[in-house]
Structure 1
C-alpha cells in the first residue's frame, strides 16, 4: 500500500465535566492525531494516552516521542502491503503500545479508504449496529451518581459501568440497586484499587448481581486475580493486565477472568485486538470494547472494532455528547436508537473531520515525508 507522508497533531480538548477514577481526575483530553497520506487518501488515528502515567506507563508526551524517534522512521525502511504487518514490524520496540496503536490505526484507516471499504469491513466486522453502555466516574455524592444513572437509563444505554475504589463501593452500588432493582445491567470498575487483603469486602460485592467486576487487583497481575475468581461467582474482567494475545492466553489458562475488555491502545493496535478477539471466541470468553475518553476519531475506531462477532457485551462507546460540547468529527457519534450506535458503511472510519475545531485546539504539529521506499501494491 502507498504511504507518502505522516502528520502528527497534538491538541487539548476540554471535557464537559471532570471524570474521576480510583487513580485521579481528568478535566481535558490531551490528544495526538496521526494522519497517514497516500494514494490521494488520508487515514486517521487517535492516541488514547493520558498526560500522566497512571493508567499505564505511557503519556501523551512519550507517545509523541516514540512516534517521532522510532516508529515513523521504521516506516521509511520497510515495505508494507497490509496493515496486519505493522505489529510485527514494531515488535523489536518493547511495549509503548499506545504509540504503536495510533500509527497502526491511521494506516488501517488509510488502507480501508484505498481499497474502498469501511474500516469495519476491512477488519472483519459482521454487525451493522453495536450495543453500547456508559461509564460513570466517581461522583461527589451518592445522590449525584444515582441521578446520573437514572439519566443514562432513560437514554437507553445497555450497560451501566460505575467506577469504584475503597470507601466508594458498597454504598454507591447499594444505592443503585435499591433505586433501580436488579433489572439494569450493572458492573463495577475498580482500576486496580484493591488487593487480596480486601477479599471480604470484594465478596460483599456479590450481593449486587453485577455483570462483572473489572480489574479489581494490581494492573500487572493475573495470579491474584485467579485466586480471587476461584472464590467469586461474579465474573472478573481483566483490562490493564492484558497487553497482548499471549497475556490473554495465560490469563484464560489459569482462570484469572471470565471476560476480557479489549482496548486498541492498550494492546498495541487493531491487529492485536483481532488476535485477542479470536482467541477469546475460541475459548468461549466474551469480550467488550472499553473506552479511554476518546474523541470522535478514537470513538469511530472503537465502533468498527466492536462490530466483530465476539463483542457480545455492550462497550463504553457512548455518544460524543457524553463527554464533549463539540467533537472533532462530523457528524458526531449519536445513538441511532436507545442503546445502539450504527456502524458506518462508507469507506474508512466513517466520519468527516471537524477541521475548524481541530485547528483551534492544535498546539503542536510535525510532518514526515516517506516517499518511495514503501510498496505501492495492495
Structure 2
C-alpha cells in the first residue's frame, strides 16, 4: 500500500508558445520508490491549488489504488499510477489493460510555405518509414495541398486535422474526394449536430476529441462521428480515459491516441493508453523537440513504429532530474 513521504512539483517551460508549460509531479514513498506525472499547459490556478492542497492530500496517507486519490489533477493521477505500478513491478500499459507491444504511428505535418514544399516533406516522412500521414489543414489551406499530396502518393493512407477551425461543411465535403481515412476535429467541440451532418455526407470517418465521457455520450447518441481522438492528458485520470476508450470501442468506433507535446512523461502515458485493444488507428506521438525532454529513452517513433515499454515497470522511462531542475522555471517541495 503506497504511502507518500515527500513530493515535489515543477513548472517547466515548453517551446510551443510563450505561455506553454508542463507541470510535473514527483512522489516518493517511504521505501524511496518514486512516481512521476505531467500535465500540459495546466489551468492558471492549478499551481497555487496544488501548493495549497497536495501535501494534505497525499503525504502520510495510505491508498490502495490510484483511483482512490481524488486529486482532480491529471499530473497527480499519473504520478500515482507510476508509483503504484513501479511498486508492483508491472508496466503501466499492462496495468490499465494494454495488449499491444508496438504501435503504428502517424506523422503530423503543419502548413507549409508552398504546396511543393509540403509534398517534399511528405516524401521525406515516407522515406523515413511512415505509412500514415496527417496533414494540418485550415480554411484557405485545405483542398489544394491535400489534392497535391494525393496525386503524388495515390496509395498513401492520409488523414487531415482541421483544428476545430471550420464552420460549414463545404470545403470538408470537397476534401472527401481525395480518399481520406479520417477528418479530425472539423468543428468546435460543442457543434455535435454539425459533426453529425458532416459524417452523413462523407465517406471518411469524422474524429472528435472530448475530455469527458459525458461529452462522448452526446456524440455517440447522435452517431456524430466514427473515431474518438483520445488525448489522455485531457482527462482528469487515466481511468477516465480508459472509460472513454471502452465506450467508444463498444459503440464500434475506431480510436486514435494523441499526445505529442510536453517533457516526455505525458507522451509515455499516451503510449500506454494507445496499447489498449480498441486503439485501432496509428497513434500521434510525433518525435518531440529534444531540448525539453527529461526522459530516457525519448518517447517517439522509429520508422513509423512506437515501442510499448513492457520490460520496465511504471511509465517505463528514466527521469533526468538534473536536467529537469536546470530547466524548471519554479518548484516547491513538501
TM-score (norm 1): 0.81
Q: Where does 1:1-378 land on structure 2 (aligned, <5 Å)?
A: 1-14=2-15, 26=17, 30-38=21-29, 39-49=31-41, 59=43, 61-70=44-53, 73-75=56-58, 80-86=63-69, 89-90=70-71, 100-181=73-154, 183-196=155-168, 199-239=169-209, 242-320=210-288, 323-325=289-291, 327-335=293-301, 338-344=303-309, 345-368=311-334
Aligned residue for 2:153, secondary structure, equals: helix
Which residues of structure 2 form unaligned runs of 5+? none
Aligned residue for 2:15, secondary structure, equals: strand
1: CA distance, partners of 2:323 / 2:226: 41
Larger RCO, structure (CA 8 Å, separation 6 or more): 1
2: CA distance, partners of 1:266 / 1:136: 22
CA contact (8 A) 1:48 1:292 kept: no
Deviations 1:172-205 (A, max 9, x none): 1112112212x11111111110113xx2222101
Which residues of structure 1 form unaligned runs of 5+? 16-25, 50-57, 94-99, 369-378
CA contact (8 A) 1:14 1:28 kept: no
CA contact (8 A) 2:38 2:265 kept: yes
Cα displacement (A) at 1:77: 10
CA contact (8 A) 2:8 2:331 kept: yes
Cα displacement (A) at 1:147: 2.1
1: CA distance, partners of 2:194 / 2:46: 30
Aligned residue for 1:186, secondary structure, equals: strand
Question: Which residue of 2 is the match for residue 96 of structure 1?
Answer: none
Distance 1:76 1:191, change over 3 A: same
Cα displacement (A) at 1:78: 7.1
Q: How many corresponding residue pairs? A: 331
TM-score (norm 2): 0.91
Deviations 1:128-155 (A, max 9, x none): 1111112222223323322222211111
Aligned residue for 1:4, secondary structure, equals: strand
Distance 1:292 1:330, change over 3 A: closer
Question: Which residue of 2 is the match for residue 22 of structure 1?
Answer: none
Aligned residue for 1:146, secondary structure, equals: helix
Question: Which residue of 2 is the match for residue 371 of structure 1?
Answer: none
Distance 1:180 1:66, change over 3 A: farther
CA contact (8 A) 2:4 2:59 kept: no
CA contact (8 A) 1:8 1:33 kept: yes
